[in-house]
Amino acid sequence: MENESVKCLIIGSGPAGYTAAIYTARANLKPVLYEGIEPGGQLTTTTEIENFPGYPEGISGPQLMENMKQQAVRLGADVRFGVVTSVDFSKRPFHVVVDGQKSLEAETIIICTGASAKYLGLESEQRYKGMGVSACATCDGFFYRGKEVAVIGGGDTACEEATYLASLCQKVYMVVRKDYLRASKAMQQRVMNTSNIEVLFGHVTQEVLGDEQGVNGLRLRNATGERTIELAGVFVAIGHHPNTELFKESIRLDENGYIVTEAGSSKTNIEGVFAAGDVQDSHYRQAITAAGSGCIAAIDCERFLLAQ
Ligand code: NDP
């Protein structure tokens, strides 16, 4: 097996990873960044981003990520295509394997592996992914202008997606398995005040219906039996899961699987391992907050190495 030693290894390539790369490169830590399965992360699945400061006209998600990558590369970061497949944090330098074959020693590691949308796990949902089943209203809502759609879930994300879709679509059903919404009061209010959203409380999705054209309905069950609703699109908004499978034996995670960082810093329970972005943040989950935490991790990492 090839072996290589690096000062700072960054795992993951969303806004947190690229920002950490920009800062550590400028600090002369010669960072090596592995992009992972989805280079650019979740933002590459969105279209227009209007709330990332510095882009008064907005910018597309893929373009924003490409810009961040180019900036990191220009400043000297070594950005590589590859997936970290195992880690050993038991001693420093840490030992990491990439793509199951390349061995690497790293003095410090910044974990920026992000989070992914959860799905219901139905076979029919899987079948119509990209053909009417989506987990991102801002990415795909545009395709359902003037049509009827459903959002599944009752949290803040579901409410946000439903109100966004209501501005484009003729009608939005919210399919909520309990008899209440988990979302904040303010978000619930927004949903209730939107005339073309109908909340179906106590409804569980049994099947996504469709044909070769894509989705055309949902089969639902409630306490009194089953019903079918006709629609053109289904947006699953039942939360996210952090991409921490790789680290679950080696680092402290919270009850939802997110990496625990010290308050106000990116430090994990392992000295020399830092975490940034959605992998340690279930609450804000914004490109700008992820980028900000990538900067924090880079500074923490630099100070850690200086103190050695
Ligand atoms: P949540 O975990 O808060 O909510 C998930 C929702 O999906 C719940 O209603 C849950 O139902 C439902 N659900 C989960 N699994 C299933 C399933 N298998 N079938 C049907 N329904 C299911 O996730 P969110 O993504 O909404 O929010 C995550 C965090 O991000 C929260 O802290 C939230 O406040 C925050 N956030 C804040 C925003 C803002 O402030 N603007 C915007 C978006 C998110 P049940 O209640 O029955 O478990």
SS (H, E, C) the chain: CCEEEEEEEEECCCHHHHHHHHHHHHCCCCCEEECCCCCCHHHHHCCEECCCCCCCCCEEHHHHHHHHHHHHHHCCCEEECCCEEEEECCCCCEEEEECCCEEEEEEEEEECCCEEECCCCCHHHHHCECCCEECCHHHHHHHHCCCEEEEECCCHHHHHHHHHHHCCCCEEEEEECCCCCCCCHHHHHHHHCCCCEEEEECCEEEEEEEECCEEEEEEEEECCEEEEEECCEEEECCCEEECCHHHCCCCCECCCCCECCCCCCCECCCCCEEECHHHHCCCCCCHHHHHHHHHHHHHHHHHHHHHC
9 and 110 co-located in one domain: yes
pLDDT tens, residue order, the chain (308 aa): 557 999 999 999 999 999 999 999 999 999 999 999 989 988 886 667 888 999 999 998 899 999 999 999 999 999 999 999 999 999 999 999 999 999 999 999 999 999 998 999 999 999 998 899 999 887 789 889 999 999 999 998 899 999 999 999 999 999 999 999 999 999 999 999 999 999 999 999 999 999 999 999 999 999 999 999 999 999 999 999 999 999 999 999 999 999 999 999 999 999 999 999 999 998 888 899 999 999 999 999 999 999 99
50 and 154 co-located in one domain: no
What integer pLDDT is reported at residue 47 of this predicted model? Answer: 65
127 and 222 co-located in one domain: yes
Q: Is the CB of 294 under 6 A from ligand 1?
A: no
Whether the predicted model's global pTM rises above the 0.85 cut: no
What integer pLDDT is reported at residue 209 of this predicted model? Answer: 98
Q: Is the CB of 221 under 6 A from ligand 1?
A: no
Residue nearest to atom 15 of ligand 1 (CA): 238
Q: Is the CB of 155 under 6 A from ligand 1?
A: yes
User: For the chain, what is the domain count?
Assistant: 2
Q: Which of 8, 140, 156, 159 is catalytic?
A: 140
95 and 145 co-located in one domain: no
Domain finish residue from 236, 264, 287: 236
Residue nearest to atom 32 of ligand 1 (CA): 283
Q: Is the CB of 243 under 6 A from ligand 1?
A: no
CA of 74 to the centre of ligand 1 (A): 39
What integer pLDDT is reported at residue 24 of this predicted model? Answer: 98
Q: Is the CB of 150 under 6 A from ligand 1?
A: no
141 and 248 co-located in one domain: no
What integer pLDDT is reported at residue 63 of this predicted model? Answer: 95
User: By residue range, what is the domain housing residue 46?
Assistant: 3-116+240-307
208 and 247 co-located in one domain: no
111 and 256 co-located in one domain: yes
101 and 51 co-located in one domain: yes
232 and 123 co-located in one domain: yes
228 and 248 co-located in one domain: no
229 and 251 co-located in one domain: no
What integer pLDDT is reported at residue 171 of this predicted model? Answer: 98
Residue nearest to atom 31 of ligand 1 (CA): 283
Q: Which of 78, 88, 112, 136 is catalytic?
A: 136
Active site (annotated) includes residue 8: no
Q: Is the CB of 202 under 6 A from ligand 1?
A: no
Domain finish residue from 236, 267, 297: 236
Q: Which of 8, 112, 139, 159 is catalytic?
A: 139
Domain finish residue from 220, 236, 252: 236
CATH number for 175: 3.50.50.60
Residue nearest to atom 39 of ligand 1 (CA): 156
9 and 93 co-located in one domain: yes
Q: Is the CB of 156 under 6 A from ligand 1?
A: yes
Active site (annotated) includes residue 139: yes
